Amino acid sequence: MCCTRIEIIGLKGFPDVKKGDDIGKLIVEIARKNGVELMDGDVVIVAQKIVSKAEGRIVDLDKIVPSKTAYELGEKLGKDPRLVEVVLRECREVLKAESGHLIVLTRHGLVCANAGVDASNVDGSGIRVSLLPIDPDESARRIRKRIRELTGKNVVVVITDTFGRPFREGVVNFAIGFSGIAPFRDYIGKPDRYGYIMRVTRVCVVDEIAAAAELIMGQGGEGIPVVIMRGVKFDWDEKAGLEQVIMNRSKWLFR
């Protein structure tokens, strides 16, 4: 009898990413420096921050002129009105603006604080902030394609960011875009160990992959922005994207 294994491998020594950097190429190079050759079926998890940096999604708050709404919200929440202005531009709708929190629905359909706009781990922090990629699925596709060009290997790419949760303390890493993988493992209609047909269980594996990767990624000065997971069982899907993971608003029970 042999156990089943997954390995989570954190790549050390990632350089400071600048606008225009080729993330796919960097991943292949840094993996090799870490003694890791990418393999077919590897899941490559990439922190949103380096994708945003490479795509130039960095904003200098000094160049932002806040609207009246942004001033009012900033005052109410104790936030820099220029930051609020950037958040408002990134979001489809403000869901909650209270107790110092600005929870919004982003253009991608994500529900998160500050539309994912974040000052940490950006050079010139506090004045310069990073925005989420415009289309994280497309970012994932591009990185995946580049890895394939350079190595011939068919990997999956998942781009992640940490968000809070409504009823639990602390943040957890979530998938915000992906390429090559079906987001769910579906048990609906399958028998359990006693033959009972399960009716509801659909596991969001891309979010579980994101969460697992964060255990190595960390977030501070020792950050590891790229993690490889090897041995994950998943279904390939060339057309899947974040949209499937976003719950349609008509199904929201909590507002």
Phi, psi for 165 (deg, rounded to 5): -130, 145
By CB under 8 A, tell whether 22 contacts a copy of itself. Answer: no
Which residues 108-167 are close enough to bind a copy of itself by CB under 8 A?
A: 111, 119-126, 162, 165-167
Listed in sequence order, the DSSP H helices in 16-135 are: 23-33, 48-54, 68-77, 81-90
Q: Rounded to 10 degrees, what is the CA torsion of 157, 120, 116, 226?
A: 10
CB nearer to a copy of itself: pick between 88 and 110: 110
Residue 191 DSSP symbol = B
Helix (H) or strand (E) holding 141: helix 136-151
Binds a copy of itself (CB under 8 A): choice among 233, 236, 237, 240: 233
CB nearer to a copy of itself: pick between 56 and 126: 126
Residue 184 beta carbon to a copy of itself: minimum distance, rounded to whole angstroms: 5
Helix (H) or strand (E) holding 101: strand 101-106
Give how many residues touch a copy of itself by CB under 8 A.
87
Which residues 31-70 are close enough to bind a copy of itself by CB under 8 A?
A: 33-36
Cα dist from 216 to 48, 119, 182, 196, whole Å: 15, 21, 23, 37
Binds a copy of itself (CB under 8 A): choice among 38, 131, 174, 180: 174
Distance (Å, whole) CA 50 – CA 133? 10
By CB under 8 A, tell whether 77 contacts a copy of itself. Answer: no
x/- mask, a copy of itself, residues 178-217, rule CB under 8 A, reads: -----xxx-x--xxxxxxx-x--xxxxx-xxx-xx-xxx-
Q: Which residues pair with 44 in a beta bridge?
A: 157, 228
By CB under 8 A, tell whether 98 contacts a copy of itself. Answer: yes
44 contacts 60 by C-beta, under 8 angstroms: no
Binds a copy of itself (CB under 8 A): choice among 65, 78, 169, 238: 169
CB nearer to a copy of itself: pick between 46 and 209: 209
By CB under 8 A, tell whether 15 contacts a copy of itself. Answer: no
